Structure 1
Amino acid sequence: MSDLHERARELDAADPLAGHRAEFALDEGTVYLDGNSLGALPAHVPARMADVIGREWGELRIRSWDESGWWTAPERIGDRIAPLVGAAPGRIVVGDSTSVNVFKAVVAATRLAGEGRDEILVDATTFPTDGYIAESAARMTGHRIVPLDPADIPGAAGPRTALALVNHVDYRTGRLHDLPGTTAALRAAGALAVWDLCHSAGALPVGLDAHGVDLAVGCTYKYLNGGPGSPAYLYVAERHQAAFDSPLPGWNSHADPFGMTPGYRAADGAVRGRVGTPDILSTLALEAALDVWDGVDVNAVRAKSLALTDFFLECVRAYVPEGRVVSVTPEAHAERGSQVALSCPDAAAVMPELIARGVVGDLRRPDVLRFGFTPLYVGFADTERAARVLADVLAAAS
């Protein structure tokens, strides 16, 4: 038994978050390191959904919009997500997909920025859909796209900049970008900051209000464990809510939704981010899933995340022969999210073999093995085992 194996056991025994693992439906024979794509199922969600389907839908039917609180779910759940991303109540609404919310945020930001600002700075390493939507929004609004490395955005913002769309954590490498500094630079230039939090919310503190972020979007099926395709969310800073002009006005965001009037009049607050009828089943599954966050300090989550990723890199260096894999995830804590990405020439063959041996990560073509560390249910023994199995798979391949 290796020293690293023993140290992993000691670290798990001292881990203040270790007890949360029991709240998830996990196979003890599997090391699940793909929570940065799809979070594990909180064990109590099936019973909650059985009640939603059998009683709220099956028995109460349409009465559940009022009696079961379906109508207010998008804002109610937004208020539950708010502390995890550093927002006050009333600033987040849940609904639609991340892609739809990116479109709302980008177009609304061009309108908030005003005339004379005709450029949109876009994270050149962004998740592809964000780039696609930004380009479409630019064509619709007459703006031009300026792709940049996120580190160059603060220096590039100027009098023509309407907004910058940036990923808080790079989906491929796990690099954590400078949200406070970039937001401050954009604000100083008179531009708006729109952040994609898909790979950071639930893994590390974000501080939307504290850092003056204008608009933000995020998904809920990764570190927030809301389930496949669970609804995304939109954050609108309080100072922008009265002027927030959504490019997708719908009856759900109308000041008098049941008046069914032909003219649109936007509701107050974050409700402006709603569009049509919310997907109640997935929305309520998300609400139940968020119970696992009750009493959890995001700072403790961040501390464990860094400890896990540090330990994984240490184990990889100890077990894997030098040169077989290279980490493309930054070593510096201030630049690292909650995943480790390893460049490996045989990645396309290695990842399926890892999964067959019970270590589940994912592949980003052509050569990146990606491992996500979800501190609520991933432990140090999982981390050590994953590195050891990776070494075995690479040895067998050679």
Structure 2
Amino acid sequence: MSTHREETENTPARADGEFRVRATELDSQDPLAHYRQHFIGTDTPLSYLDGNSLGRPLKRTAEDVAAFITDQWGGRLIRGWDEQWLEMPQAIGDQLGRAVLGAAPGQTVIADSTTVVLYKLIRAALAAVNDAHRDEVVLDIENFPTDRYLVEGIAREEGLTLRWIQPDPAGGVTVEQVRQAAGPRTAVVLLSQVAYRSAHLADLPAITAAVHDAGALVVWDLCHSAGSVEIGLDDAGVDFAAGCTYKYLNGGPGSPAFAYVNSRHLGSLRQPIWGWMGRKDAFEMAAGYEPAAGIRGFLSGTPAIFGMIAMQGTLDLIEEATMAAIREKSLRLTGFAVDVFDAWLAPLGAKLATPRDPALRGSHITVDHPDFTKATVAGLWDGDVIPDFRAPHGIRVGLSPLSTSFGEVLQGMAAIRARLGG
């Protein structure tokens, strides 16, 4: 029989208090805690758990953009293109490669939206294969809609066959599934390193090797991994990669995407959207398209300068903090969130739709419950707790390591529990 003392020690109030103490201790011991002060809004009571969709802006960004408007745009006017702006897509691309992607210089460029960049890379990869017998593209049914729609459209244009991988919705694509799907007819494999819903972290090096063993090329979508996990594109021998910059890189709404093309492909590839910025001399205005050498040839239209200015501040912070330390905090944040889920939400019928193994997840968790709807999230937003909703009944709790505190996580999880009547 339980004693009165044992019953008292196991009350919900005691568990709540223990989590509050633990969150305070984790925040006080966090070596990256001081970076939080660099972000706008972190000194308010709001719990922001959606940095995996749109990162908070840096305080520095307001100053950088204001200085750009006054000194560069306003002061230098059109001269800015010759003096600095034309080189920014490659200069910031190289910094992104160095700080985040594990990519040597000359392989990364900032350009377009993720959708446009992926289209360019997939079409370029298909052209590089140049084998009529390789008429299949491998992808998974749980990937982000843009990725699926793009490949479906390209397949219709080119008469290609799609080979679909069906991963565990609460997990993701495995090496074995790729080995089974990729074969002598495979031209290109398109996958996300971190699954947008479940946060499953794919084994990028092993899957890349498996694709190459099948004689195919791989295109990685890094939207939910760039800035939250260590990547190592060069070391893994990745062919192509794309990603956005408005999540963990804090470039702001609609900030431009990035394209990575391994140097071994740059000498022979042409991307399909020929625009003036991708020409060898953009201002020559001559007849005929002659692509610029190297990664610059993957540009098309005029670069989005404002978005690049915004992300520079985050890239500087990442280089200072290091991706290894950022990943370590991400693991602590998601581990804490899972522990709180187990104690508070699982008893209320919620399911964890994210891998429990820390090595197999990115920087968010997804919680499913039959009662979760868009209205549930709208109610949380009204109370200044900001996760996001993913159909059919999932709430995503996104944890951006440089700007999210453990106390903020606890506050958000408490609000979700309250919505379930706990």
TM-score calculated relative to the size of structure 2: 0.91
**Which residue pairs with 1:121 in the alignment?**
138
Task: Point out the more displaced range, 116-125 or 252-261.
Answer: 252-261
CA distance in 2, matches of 1:107, 1:321: 44
Matching of residue 389 in structure 1 with residue 415 in structure 2? yes
Deviates more, 1:381-390 or 1:166-175: 381-390
Matches of 1:295 and 1:265, distance apart in 2: 39
Amino acid at match of 1:377: S
Q: 1:137 aligns with which of 112, 131, 154?
A: 154
Distance 1:350 1:258 in 2: 53
Q: 1:376 to 1:288 in 2, by over 3 A?
A: closer
Quote the Cα distance in structure 1 between the aligned partners of 2:77 and 2:160: 46
Amino acid at match of 2:398: G
For residues 201 and 102 of structure 2, what CA distance do their matches in structure 1 show?
A: 17
Give the match for residue 239 of structure 1: 264
Aligned ranges 1:1-398 → 2 under 5 Å? 2-27=17-42, 28-67=44-83, 69-83=84-98, 84-115=100-131, 116-149=133-166, 150-151=173-174, 152-320=177-345, 322-348=347-373, 349-395=375-421
CA distance in 1, matches of 2:346, 2:183: 48
The separation in 2 between residues aligned to 1:36 and 1:93, in whole angstroms, is: 22
Shift, 1:51, TM fit? 1.6
Which range moved further: 240-249 or 316-325? 316-325
1-structure distance, mates of 2:116, 2:187: 20
Letter aligned with residue 329 of structure 1: T
CA offsets per residue over residues 257-293 of structure 1, 9 Å max, x none? 2222222222211111100111222232233443332
> 1:121–1:164: 8 Å Cα contact kept in structure 2?
yes
SS in 1 for 2:259: strand
Give the match's secondary structure for 1:340: strand
Aligned partner letter, 1:391: R
Q: After TM superposition, give the deviation of residue 174 of structure 1 in Å.
A: 1.1
Is the deviation greater in 23-32 or in 11-20?
Answer: 23-32
CA distance in 2: counterparts of 1:97 and 1:295, whole angstroms: 27
Give 1:354 shift.
Answer: 2.0
- Counterpart-to-counterpart distance in 1, 2:331 and 2:278: 40
Residues 331-369 of structure 1 show CA distances to partners (whole Å, capped at 9, x for unaligned) of 012221110100011211322222222221000122000
**Cα distance in 1 between the residues matched to 2:322 and 2:310:** 22
Alpha-carbon distance in structure 2 between the residues aligned to 1:210 and 1:271: 22
Partner Cα separation in structure 2 for residue 262 and residue 118 of structure 1: 34
In the alignment, the residues of structure 2 paired with residue 166 and residue 338 of structure 1 have an alpha-carbon distance, to the nearest angstrom, of: 18
Instruction: For 1:362 and 1:12, locate their aligned partners in 2 and report how far apart those are by CA, in whole Å.
Output: 24
Q: Deviations over 1:223-261 (max 9, x none)?
A: 111100000000000100111210112221112222222
In structure 1, list runs of 5 or more residues that go unmatched: none
Secondary structure of residue in 2 paired with 1:163: strand
Work out whether residues 250 and 310 of structure 2, in 8 Å CA contact, stay in contact via their aligned partners in 1: no
How far is 1:318 from its partner?
Answer: 1.7
Matched residues in 1 for 2:414 and 2:157: separation? Answer: 51
SS in 1 for 2:137: strand
**What is the deviation of 1:321?**
5.6
Partner residue, 2:170: none
Which residue identity does 1:351 align to in structure 2? V
Unaligned runs of 5+ in 2: 1-15, 167-172
Larger Rg: 2
Indicate conservation of the 8 Å contact 2:163/2:181, yes or no.
Answer: no
Question: 2: CA distance between counterparts of 1:45 and 1:91?
Answer: 26
Residue identity opposite 2:179 in structure 1: P
Structure 1 partner of 2:12 = none
Alignment coverage as a number of residue pairs? 395
Instruction: Report if the CA contact (8 A) 2:348-2:420 is conserved.
Output: no
CA RMSD of superposed structures (Å): 1.4
Contact 2:245 2:251 (C-alpha < 8 Å) held by counterparts: yes
For the Cα contact (< 8 Å) 2:61–2:309, is it kept in 1? no
| C-alpha distance in 1 between matches for 2:313 and 2:323 | 19
Q: Which amino acid aligns with 2:146?
A: T
Partner of 2:4: none
Identity %: 41
